Amino acid sequence: MATPEQKRILVTEIPGPKSVKLHEQRGAAFAAGFGVSLPIFVAEAGGGIVVDVDGNHLIDLASGIAVTSVGASHPEVVAAVQAQAERFTHTCFMVTEYESAVDVATALNRLTPGDHEKRTGLFSTGAEAVENAIKIARSYTGRSAVVVLSHAYHGRTLLTMTMTAKNVPYKEGFGPYAPEIYRVPSPYPFRWVGDPDNVAQEAFDQLVDVITSQIGAHNVAAIVVEPVQGEGGFVVPPDGYLPKVAAFAKEHGIVFVADEIQSGLGRTGTMFAVDHEGVVPDIVTTAKALAGGMPLSAVTGRAEIMDAVAPGGLGGTYAGNPVACAAAKAALEVIERDDLPAKARRIEQLAKPRLEALTGEDSWVGDVRGRGAMLAMEFVRPGTTEPAPEAAKKVAAYANAHGVLTLTCGTYGNVIRLLPPLVIGEDLLADALDVLEAAVATLA
């Protein structure tokens, strides 16, 4: 099947009649606990386009939440998946081995920051990668406390849900939560209550204070940060914060974990978001873009930390599934060969000035931020920092109705994020931005 025509085409209302019918059927079959951003049913997708069952072509500013950086049907990923599926779909890496898993591990050891000796473990989901990073850090340090940030998102399993900051919808009703998780303020410039010119230092001081006075640095196994916070609102830490935290962790024998599941593998314009400041984490978690749409995640870290867990201590039936590994080899090849980090920088160059032009004293767009192809607008009541989730919803609804698939995020639900496939065409991106501008104009 060829890549769909790279053009926004609306042939029905969004959602169209076929999608509406399928969505009704879904309600009778599928658990209600799963939300949906836009109830259209997909027939095919690729490049910067998602085609629904009614034949509408929507511009994809979601990438399945930062997964399909190479597009949702990249020919090389598709071919690799097909070829591997014909050979074998599964053996379980803990039962018998296959070469592609070692190849993916070797590639991640090379691509992640730092030239120290590394090891990688492969899993299936992002949450599993974060859980295993914690298991490894605890095993290595013999300590139990884990420090995370406000506005953090790390997953939906018991441990990672506990590490996630936002109550509704992620945690409500699911307690009791896992023990030994401590939270420190995120350096969120737009919402910082202290000195706006000193956010990095003040946030770092608060981290040190919480760790020293409430936990004891010698009890902390890991500090886990998203180098650009994802679900929490695309919060970019001000320069200096991450290097300070990394240095503090090093000084106290704490494992510094960068959760690059959303921000990694080219998304922010560098291979990893920590690369913007030359920070070298002890452990990096990856998933999402890693396998071009197939479920695969990884924990990559210093050899001495990773190998602290004895054989048998890590694993999972599907951990490092061979079809997913074949897809990852192809996706990583495309990301490197086609220099997708450069594409992300180009997306920033094209999109950010246009989004920034939407801000202003009487504008509902209070802040525009992000790096590379991980960009966001935060909506507030004009002239204040009071969150305006209704404005974000209105803009998203307008964009969706006009054939642009957008996602909201943020602790207050008032952020619209742009996560296009890194391979999106420039005309398509420009068209999507026209629609977003028109959407914001409806708020005035």
Q: Binding of ligand PLZ at residue 231 (CB under 6 A)? A: yes
Tell me whether residue 53 or residue 65 sits nearer to ligand PLZ (CB atom).
65
- Judged by CB under 6 A, which stretch of 241-249, 255-263, 362-370, 375-383 contacts ligand PLZ? 255-263
Binding of residue 15 to ligand PLZ (CB under 6 A): no
**Side chain identity at residue 190, one-letter code:** F
- Please work out the total of residues on this chain that contact ligand PLZ, with binding judged by CB under 6 A: 16
- Considering beta carbons, is residue 62 or 334 the nearer one to ligand PLZ? 62
Torsion angle defined by CA atoms of residues 30, 33, 34 and 36, in that order, rounded to the nearest 10 degrees: 110
Closest CA to 98 of 329, 313, 310: 329
State yes or no: residue 171 binds ligand PLZ (CB under 6 A): no
Among 42, 65, 158, 215, binds ligand PLZ (CB under 6 A): 65
Q: Which DSSP state fits 273?
A: G
Between residues 84 and 132, which has the closer beta carbon with respect to ligand PLZ? 132
Q: Which of 126, 322, 341, 387 binds ligand PLZ (CB under 6 A)?
A: 126
Amino acid identity at 139: S
Phi, psi for 425 (deg, rounded to 5)? -70, 150
Tell which one of 38, 222, 287, 305 touches ligand PLZ (CB under 6 A). Answer: 287
Q: Using the 8-state DSSP alphabet, how is residue 277 labeled?
A: G
Interaction between residue 261 and ligand PLZ (CB under 6 A): yes
Residue 130, interface with ligand PLZ (CB under 6 A)?
yes
Of 125 and 132, nearer to ligand PLZ (C-beta) is: 125
> Is the link from the previous residue into 189 a cis peptide, with omega within 30 of 0?
no
Binding flag, residue 155, ligand PLZ (CB under 6 A): yes
Smallest distance from ligand PLZ to CB 152, Å: 8
Residue 259 interacts with ligand PLZ (CB under 6 A): yes or no = yes
| 131 counts as binding ligand PLZ under rule CB under 6 A | no
Residue 260 CA, distance from chain mean position: 7
Binding range to ligand PLZ, per CB under 6 A, among 74-82, 96-104, 152-160, 367-375: 152-160
Stretch that binds ligand PLZ, among 97-105, 124-132, 212-220, 379-387 (CB under 6 A): 124-132
Q: How far is 248 from 234, CA to CA, in rounded Å?
A: 24
Confirm or reject binding of residue 286 to ligand PLZ (CB under 6 A).
no
DSSP-assigned states of every residue in 29-53? HS-TT---SS---EEEEETTEEEET
Of these, 57, 135, 138, 154, which contacts ligand PLZ (CB under 6 A)? 154
The span from the CA of 65 to the CA of 204, in Å, is 29
Q: Which two tokens stand for residue 275?
A: 């690369």
CB of 374 to ligand PLZ, least distance (A): 11
Q: Which two tokens stand for residue 237?
A: 């830490």
Closest CA to 305 of 281, 271, 286: 281
CA distance 131 to 158: 9
Between CA 30 and CA 427 the distance in angstroms is 37
Per CB under 6 A, 186 contacts ligand PLZ: no
Question: What is the DSSP code (8-state) at residue 213?
Answer: I
Applying CB under 6 A, the residues found at the interface with ligand PLZ are: 65, 125-127, 130, 153-156, 226, 230-231, 259, 261-262, 287
